[in-house]
Amino acid sequence: MIKKRMQDAMNDQIQHELGSAYLYLAMAADFHAKGLDGMAQWMEVQTQEETVHAMRFFRHVDERNGRVELKVLAAPQKEWASPLAAFEAAYEHEQFITARIDELVKVAREENDNAALMMLQWFVNEQIEEEANVTKVIDLLKLVGGTGQGLLMADRELGTRVFVPPPAGADAAGAPA
C-alpha cells in the first residue's frame, strides 16, 4: 500500500504530466496555425509521451491501492513569438518537470518507499532524454535562424518524429510485466 504523502505527491505529478501534455498540445496548435506542421508533429508526439507519463503515475498509485485524484489543469499559453521561443519554453518546462521528479525521489527516500524509487528511476533517466531532445531542437533552430529555407528544412526534419508507444504489459520502468 502506498503511503499518503507519496500518493499525494504522485497525484500532483499526474497533474504536472497532464499539464505538460496540454502545454505541448497548445504549442502544436500554434505551430499548425503558423504553417509549421513538422514542428506541430514534434509537439504532438511530445503530447502523447506526456500522457503516457501521467498514466504511469496513475497506474502506480492505483496498483498500490492508493487513490488517484485528478486536479484542475490551467489553460496553457496560446502563442509564442517564434519557434525558438516555443522550444525554449519547452526546455524551461522540462527543467521544471526534472525538479519535480527529483522531489518525488526525495519523498520516496524519506518514506522508505522502494517501489516508488524503482519506478521513479525510469523518470530520472527519461528527463535526461527529454531535456537533451529539446536542447537539440533549440541548437538546430539557432543554427538555421528564424526564417527562410533553413527554417523550412528544420520543420520538415522535425515532422519525421513518430510516437512509439510502450510495449503492452510493460511496467512503470518499461520492462515486461
Structure confidence by residue, pLDDT tens digits, 88-103:
999 999 999 999 999 9
Q: Is residue 171, in this structure, part of any structural domain at all?
A: no
Q: Is residue 65, in this structure, part of any structural domain at all?
A: yes
Contact 137, 158 (CB under 8 A): yes
Q: Is residue 174, in this structure, part of any structural domain at all?
A: no
Q: Is residue 36, in this structure, part of any structural domain at all?
A: yes
- How many separate domains does the chain show? 1
Amino acid making up residue 162: V
b/e burial code for range 133-145 (CB count within 10 A of at least 16 → b):
bbeebbebbeebe
Contact 94, 134 (CB under 8 A): yes
- Print the domain residue range for 140: 4-72+79-158
The structure's pTM equals 0.91
Q: Is residue 8, in this structure, part of any structural domain at all?
A: yes
Sign of CA dihedral 168, 170, 175, 177: negative
Q: Is residue 11, in this structure, part of any structural domain at all?
A: yes
What confidence tens digit (pLDDT) does each residue in 111-134 have? 999 999 999 999 999 999 999 999
Q: Is residue 164, in this structure, part of any structural domain at all?
A: no
CATH of residue 88's domain is: 1.20.1260.10
Q: Is residue 168, in this structure, part of any structural domain at all?
A: no
What confidence tens digit (pLDDT) does each residue in 39-84 have? 999 999 999 999 999 999 999 999 999 999 999 999 999 999 999 9
